[in-house]
Amino acid sequence: MPKASVVVNTFRPGGLDITMAGMRDQTLKDFEIILVDHRYELRHRRAMALAQEYGVNLVHVPEHRRNGKWCVALAGWNTGIAVARGEVIILLQDWTYAPPNWINAHLQHHLARPTYVAAPYVYYANLPPLAMTKPVDEAQ
Full-model pTM: 0.83
Which of 23-27, 35-39, 74-78, 110-114 comes out lowest in average pLDDT?
Answer: 110-114
User: What's the rounded Cα separation, in Å, for the pair 95 and 17?
Assistant: 8
Closest CA to 9 of 95, 87, 107, 69: 95
Q: Are 27 and 104 in contact (CB under 8 A)?
A: yes
Question: Which residues are paired to 7 by β-bridges?
Answer: 34, 91
Q: What percent of the chain has pLDDT over 90?
A: 56
**pLDDT tens sequence across 104-113:** 988 887 776 7
**pLDDT tens sequence across 51-97:** 999 999 999 999 887 767 666 778 889 999 999 999 999 999 999 99
Whether the pLDDT of residue 133 is over 70: the answer is no
Higher-confidence residue of 5 and 70: namely: 5
Task: Give the torsion sign (CA, 125, 51, 91, 135).
Answer: positive
